[in-house]
Amino acid sequence: MEERLERMRAIVAQAMAECKTMNSERPCKGMDIHLIVYGGIDEAEARVLFESASRGTPAEGAKLVIELVGTRYICWNCCGLRFESSDGVCPNCGEAAIKVPDEIAFALRSVAMV
Ligand SMILES: [Zn+2]
């Protein structure tokens, strides 16, 4: 749980950095944060983590858009391809890929200013 919170803090920091890059004039208030959740946690848990990780930061109160996708895999057989799948078979080479650990259960997709 603590590791996940650390990871969510890193995502919040990344979101704020992207926001600053897009718009250096305005404070990062009113941003939409689009998060991908790969499984291992549910949407409610992701929201709790985000609230906790963003507290006291400009990202606090941001609108969180959560996209639930299949488990993520990485194929080390061909080219390190990352893909989302239910069976873990690499679409490039057809070999069984390695499942991304559950700690890496979510990632930042995009940030949008409102
Ligand atoms: Zn492959």
Find the domain containing 6 and state its range: 2-113
Q: What is the CATH number of the domain that holds 19?
A: 3.30.2320.50
- pLDDT score recorded for residue 41: 82
Is 105 a residue whose pLDDT tops 90? no
Ligand 1 centre distance from Cα of residue 25 (Å): 44
- pLDDT score recorded for residue 107: 87
Ligand 1 centre distance from Cα of residue 88 (Å): 10
Ligand 1 centre distance from Cα of residue 20 (Å): 36
The total of structural domains in the chain comes to: 1
Ligand 1 centre distance from Cα of residue 82 (Å): 9
Specify the higher pLDDT residue, 46 or 29.
46
Q: Whole-model pTM above 0.95?
A: no
Determine which of 17-21, 58-62, 67-71, 73-77 has the lowest per-residue pLDDT on average.
67-71
Per-residue DSSP letters for 34-68? EEEE-SSS-HHHHHHHHHHHHTTSTTTTPEEEEEE
Ligand 1 centre distance from Cα of residue 70 (Å): 17
- pLDDT score recorded for residue 26: 66
pLDDT band at residue 49 using 50, 70 and 90 as cut-offs: very high
**pLDDT per residue over 7-32, tens digit each?**
999 999 999 999 888 876 666 667 89
Rg of the chain, C-alpha, whole Å = 16
Is 75 a residue whose pLDDT tops 80? yes
* Nearest in space to 84 (alpha carbons), one of 67, 63, 66: 67
Ligand 1 centre distance from Cα of residue 107 (Å): 22
Ligand 1 centre distance from Cα of residue 93 (Å): 4
Ligand 1 centre distance from Cα of residue 89 (Å): 8
